[in-house]
Structure 1
């Protein structure tokens, strides 16, 4: 008789343990996979005004995703579990976004790596390989990056070698113009905007001048007869004001003008920005505005979101960090752009605090399930 009772007791405990493990696994599955889908499904692409779009206009629209400051950890900073956790979160969020939102192009606005400015070539190549694996894009989606201060170093730390290895690894020169679906993007290395006539800065400013000249020619050719021989190289290309993409924000005194949901906390907003460290200086900002005449600026670097309109009427969005190591609620930007218009919306990732609360709830439920009767109601009635 005792043997039977012991066997039943063992079976009951085993069933309760299995039930607790299953409940814990389901909570884990939700937090690490399903929750990302639930949150990202709430983000939608913004819509351009129909009244300003001609018939068939949607065919020329471009769906653009902006992320920044992924800061893939190296071997010097952070715990191994911290590194594992953050990389899983970013990969899961990014790849889920690719499946749900299917952007035409993704721009990563600097600080892809956390220790690119310190590491040797072997370590750098290892980090680059990890980044390309985590942020792989599907066929039909383009990915372009600009350099950040953690990728090459601030201006005073940059060497030709550091600059060239990043440029080769990501096809990211200091200044680059892209034309995608009749939309023009100019990508600029913020650390090359120091204005001190160094080799890097001189080359970047020369390239900016060439792009400005080409944009002016394209703009003028749009006003001339199509038979003008001087415009033959621009046939079939429509002029549109470019979108300027860079790591540093344009000159601003602080984040006090920023009021997006992911802007800096109140205690940080009024801290003055350090020029060429927290943002571009006024000279470089004016130079970019004057040469490129952009219709939109998108930047990063501060790890906080921001939206402002500069005195010349040009709007600027700063995208917050995409890493949960820097924020409880990382964000990305979704933009719909055509040759004449653009509209931008923010997309928030799962909050770290929410995930932790769900895990705590899951732990409590799993623990309490150990004390739930393991037999069915019918069997209990029969026993009594």
Structure 2
């Protein structure tokens, strides 16, 4: 009877402690990130004051969802990921959600039925954001690397998300802020069957930007890609000033030779690096089914073409798993969104962007707890919870010996 009561106490204690823990641990920690070319000492509090006309977006990448074939680790991670989206919705009160690729861990390998389960899983995880506008940019884990890039597959996956066309690109407007998302995998892979669809989107947006300006002369640029193929882009000079175009969303970063100039935020986890290699491999195995190169970037000539045609206000990219803040010579800012999934890294993160009318884009960098910390904390909670059973059992044994 006493043992049964102690088990009930342990279960209740664990449920209470775990509920308090997960409620606190899923609250994101955020801080403002000023552009590298801004003097921090000249920045005042008024620069960050909220305005009702501002548009606030949460930007995440690398959810790496796996559909129905989930392991115990996946279920554990997805539970906390879902709690994070709920908490971020409550605390940050965003107007929209932007996901910069790699919704799935291996979408290009899935059948239509398996992909449908991933989409359902995605909708379940993002929870309250389904009631807000959201946009998904496809990543290389979704549609595959160059050797696996197929128009039919991209079309099938793109149909699952709003504002994406058959080539995996999209353009939309929210609160007078224009956005354009590009299939950067197609830009990396040379003269493929999707490249013309990407170019059409760029040219259409560029023509819209030139509506009230005089057309310039036609230029040609040769795109030299990673696989040595080439493709000729043709465009007209865009007389618009730099940073006057839409917000650009891509999965692969545009800059590729300037990593050493990129400002990063280091969040090295001491616990993670002390774990045995075998345990690290077990925790990360499902996130890395293939030899993915995290240094992939849009080729230089394609980057120049995009900048010339679109004059982006700001660029948001992903893929590298790490935060990066970079300013191009013309003043355009590219910010790389860190990976959100524990499958990708121990210390996940995301960004909050506030778009102001005719003003700068205010960036917040947010972080979530490291997976190693959460795992250790859950183990401690479990140990504390079973103490009543252990103590009761010990007392019962002592009493039995005393009776003898």
Deviation at 1:197, TM superposition (A): 3.5
Q: Calculate the TM-score normalised by the size of structure 1.
A: 0.76
CA contact (8 A) 1:137 1:143 kept: no
Partner residue of 1:358 out of 377, 382, 391: 377
Partner of residue 65, structure 1: 58
Partner residue of 2:92 out of 84, 95, 101: 101
Partner of residue 289, structure 1: 307
Partner of residue 401, structure 2: none
Partner of residue 233, structure 2: none
CA distance in 2, matches of 1:99, 1:86: 20
Instruction: Say if 2:335 is the partner of 1:348.
Output: no
Change (3 A) 1:81 1:364: closer
Partner of residue 193, structure 1: 187
Change (3 A) 1:365 1:132: closer
Instruction: Say if 2:320 is the partner of 1:316.
Output: no
Partner of residue 146, structure 2: 155
Alignment of 1:180-259 (within 5 A): 180-194=174-188, 196-217=190-211, 240-253=244-257, 255-259=259-263
Q: Any idea what the Cα deviations from partners look like across 1:125-158, whole Å, max 9, x if unmatched?
A: 2211221222244576210111111111123312
CA contact (8 A) 1:245 1:297 kept: yes
Partner of residue 33, structure 1: 23
Partner residue of 1:110 out of 76, 101, 109: 101
CA contact (8 A) 1:147 1:189 kept: yes
Deviation at 1:207, TM superposition (A): 1.9
CA distance in 1, matches of 2:387, 2:294: 56
Partner of residue 165, structure 1: 156
Change (3 A) 1:100 1:46: farther
CA contact (8 A) 2:68 2:117 kept: no
CA distance in 2, matches of 1:28, 1:145: 32
Structure 2 spans left out of the alignment, 5+ residues: 35-42, 215-242, 274-291, 394-404
Give the alignment's Cα RMSD to 1 decimal: 3.3
Instruction: Say if 2:322 is the partner of 1:304.
Output: yes
CA contact (8 A) 1:176 1:186 kept: yes
Change (3 A) 1:70 1:218: farther
Partner residue of 1:43 out of 24, 30, 39: 30
CA distance in 2, matches of 1:14, 1:113: 44
Change (3 A) 1:240 1:293: closer
Matched residue SS, 2:201? helix
Instruction: Say if 2:19 is the partner of 1:19.
Output: no
Partner residue of 1:124 out of 98, 111, 115: 115
Question: 66-75 or 278-287, which moves further after superposition?
Answer: 66-75
Q: Any idea what the Cα deviations from partners look like across 1:160-180, whole Å, max 9, x if unmatched?
A: 210111121113223322221
Deviation at 1:204, TM superposition (A): 1.1
CA distance in 2, matches of 1:204, 1:60: 32
Deviation at 1:50, TM superposition (A): 7.6
CA contact (8 A) 1:299 1:316 kept: yes
Matched residue SS, 1:169? coil
Q: Any idea what the Cα deviations from partners look like across 1:334-358, whole Å, max 9, x if unmatched?
A: 1111132211011111222222232
CA contact (8 A) 1:194 1:276 kept: no
Matched residue SS, 1:83? helix
CA distance in 1, matches of 2:117, 2:123: 10
CA distance in 1, matches of 2:184, 2:20: 40
CA contact (8 A) 1:74 1:114 kept: no
CA contact (8 A) 1:241 1:295 kept: yes
Deviation at 1:249, TM superposition (A): 0.6
CA contact (8 A) 1:182 1:240 kept: no
Matched residue SS, 1:58? coil
